Amino acid sequence: MFEHKKIQDLNDFFAELNNRRDNGVYFYRINGYNEQIRDFVERYYEEARLSGVIIEGRIPNPDEKNLSYYGEIMGMNFQMSAEFIEVSLRKWLPRMNAYQRETVAASIYSSLEAIQKTGKNENMTRNAYIKFMCWLYYRFERIVNQLGKNKIPKILYEGEISKYELILISILSNAGCDAVLLQYKGDAGYLQLDPRSAWSDNLCLPGMTAFPDAFCLKQVQEEWAERISRERLYGRKPQVQNCTNAWITGDIFQDIKTNARNRGSDPGLFYNCFCRINGVEDKLTYINELYQFQMEIKNSGRGVLILENAIVPPAVDEISAVKRGVYSRQDQMLLDLSGNIRYAADQELQCLMRKAFVDVLLDTGKKPGINLNKLTNKAVYLICWLRRFQAELFSGWRQPEISLCIYFGGCKNDNEALFMRFLARLPVDVLILVPNLNISCCLQDDFLYEINYPDSLAADRFPRETADIRIGTAAYHAERELDTLIYQDSGLYRDQQYSRANAVTLQTMYEEIAILWKQELKYRPNFSIINDIVNMPVVFAKVSGVKNSDVPEYWRDIKRMLGEDTLFIGAVPYISSMNANPVKAYAAEFFKNGRLQKNRIKAHPGYQYGYLREEIQDYLLEKLQVLIDRKSIKGTFVNGTEYTIISIALNMPKNILRQIQRFDFTKKNPKAVYISTTEELISLEDAILMAYLNLIGFDVVFFVPTGYQTVEQHYNGKLMEEYQIGEYLYDLKVPDFDKVSLHSHQGWVNRLFKRGT
């Protein structure tokens, strides 16, 4: 039989027999946890899976079928002798050789002797013998014929072991097996069976703590299965892997400038940096230092990719160029789509790209709310962006070169963050710069190294050329800081402080409209600013009937709402389908696959809004997309109404554009008053324009003395609040409001009594 030896290092378990001291075996129990033990358990689990036995929980006692089969083959006779046991093993486990039978028989006999010495009678000893024989046949048959060979079989037991299980594992250990007991609840239960630790040794290592609650062999098995699956998805594994940030000093700009050959000496690693810098160290020098930094990198001949504020989503032609199928499983999708990643100039880089692709998507697939369809879309985005930027990063690339990607402004969505994480697993230094502390970057990654500075700088462009460099004086930055103190969460706002807003339609009483009409938006109920987006409470209403049938007072009430910032429409329709519209011919070209082609629109010679402020242009296009997406207008995505919406929204009259150009989202908003006094139908074009102006932030009120259906016939659902204020009157003539007096000719007594009736 084999002697139990003590290990000097956990790696001793994996040495073959002829390389071990004194040709011994190891039987240890593990009652605590650290990273070294975790790594050991994973490796030992793999060894036991390949050439051993893994026991999760108790070994079931032989059932009636097991005992019946044993009795049929072996009979129920028993003799307390090593010779009887050896002869029985030859018949019961015929694959064992003579040496193995002799060793196991001697070990069983020795254990049965020990059982008898505890006072067990012959019948109890026989029952123990039969139990051991059944367990050997049903649970350990695969390892008994490996005993005595140079590669030592392994037993891995998880849980609280019982007396007879411990005896059997001791039998096998004495016959030539290594054994490990994983005891998550500690050693107390074991020591009741073996108080002097005669059968096994307790493993003691520095820094051991209690096992984590989630740790178990099932978890190890799942991680092993995932690792095997990953390796299958990788195809040919790369020869090198990333060493990210472990080598850096913390002076990031200097670290990135360090030559790749001077970063580390292990030929199996490439040394890259993955860092985000929030805020700025020195406002006066920041922009100039960035310019000098990127010039040094470019002059060194390295590949450089600079992204600003947003990564343009893949275009339709980019997406259609990705070969893909219909998938029912995640691994099937990843294996197929990874075939789109090719870099013929260097096979090692291609392997790195595919491995990084698989790794980040498998990690993303574990997040809540991510289904196969969403993960496939993210995978397609990664491939499209890699193809788009591959030349800038890797043209002429050779090991061990490291390219550089700078993202100025930070990741705005999960797809951008995923792309940065992907690049950070390639031979690329990824540097994310967020100088404006009012802007947040959504990227999260265990590899990411982060630096935070207290000062903020509102810079919107990376200084690629000298023309991009704008350096503020100390006084300029002091003024900006004062601005922040004054206008941050104070209820005071700079002119045009915000460039994004959402309109929220108010539900009010009719009498409140006149009050709200004169108020700045910031004073209205439910006004708020969240993440630099203004929520604007606006009026979108239809007023039906004439209060008290008092026509002169009706016109006076309307005149009080007219001003220089009011779009007044007194004749139906304002825009007819017969009106010339130069945008109509290009509407189909401007809209593909449910999305506005914003860059194409801006670059088109038929685009009419190029003279507006850039942020206003972006705002108008954003609200146009919202109007289409909401399907507020009947016929959208049914009969091509979306193209009519585009042609109307991109062909607004100059007077409306001027109102929008000067619109400040925190102050008084522009207005629109539309009067319909006859049976003439309001056109679809007018309905589109009014709904669009409402989304932009206009107060819009329709006055319909007849109470007829007008604009609502073109809307899906209830977009407006409707107020019934009095009797319906017909055939009213819209007056010349320049001649309408705001003063009633009735005496105050008559007005008082009339209001009371």
Distance CA 304, CA 391 (A): 10
418-452 pLDDT, tens per residue? 999 999 999 999 999 999 998 999 999 999 999 99
Angle between helices 82-92 and 122-138 (to 10 degrees): 30
CA distances from 663 to 10, 106, 126, 486 (A): 72, 96, 96, 22
**Which tokens sit at 413?**
């969505």
697-709 pLDDT, tens per residue? 999 999 999 999 9
3-state secondary structure 648-681: HHCCCCHHHHHHHHCCCCCCCCCEEEEECCCCCC
Q: CB count, 10 Å around CB of 179? A: 25
pLDDT category at 414 given cuts 50, 70, 90 is very high
In this predicted structure, what is the pLDDT of residue 345? 87
For residues 508 and 539, is the Cβ–Cβ distance under 8 A? Answer: yes
3-state secondary structure of 502: strand
pLDDT category at 175 given cuts 50, 70, 90 is very high
**Which tokens sit at 582?**
């130069």
Region 465-482 average pLDDT: 53
DSSP assignment letter at 157? E
Query: In this model, does residue 476 exceed pLDDT 60?
Result: no
Query: In this model, does residue 288 exceed pLDDT 90?
Result: no
Region 259-286 average pLDDT: 92
Region 551-580 average pLDDT: 91
625-641 pLDDT, tens per residue? 999 999 999 999 999 99
Lowest mean pLDDT: which of 518-532, 563-577, 703-717, 742-756? 742-756
In this predicted structure, what is the pLDDT of residue 755? 47
**Which tokens sit at 723?**
């107020």
Query: In this model, does residue 749 exceed pLDDT 50?
Result: no
717: left (phi over 0), alpha (psi -120 to 50) or beta: left
In this predicted structure, what is the pLDDT of residue 471? 52
In this predicted structure, what is the pLDDT of residue 753? 47
pLDDT category at 221 given cuts 50, 70, 90 is confident
738's CB contacts (< 8 A; 6+ apart) are none
Model-wide pTM > 0.75: no
For residues 390 and 318, is the Cβ–Cβ distance under 8 A? Answer: no
In angstroms, the first-to-last Cα distance of the chain is 115
**Which tokens sit at 620?**
């108008």
In this predicted structure, what is the pLDDT of residue 223? 78
Region 127-142 average pLDDT: 94
For residues 348 and 399, is the Cβ–Cβ distance under 8 A? Answer: yes
Query: In this model, does residue 684 exceed pLDDT 90?
Result: yes
In this predicted structure, what is the pLDDT of residue 106? 94
In this predicted structure, what is the pLDDT of residue 632? 92
Query: In this model, does residue 468 exceed pLDDT 50?
Result: no
Percent of the chain scored above 90 by pLDDT? 72
Percent of the chain scored above 70 by pLDDT? 94
Region 3-32 average pLDDT: 90
Query: In this model, does residue 466 exceed pLDDT 60?
Result: no
Across 419-555, the runs of DSSP E, i.e. the strands, are 428-434, 449-452, 500-505, 528-530, 533-538, 540-544
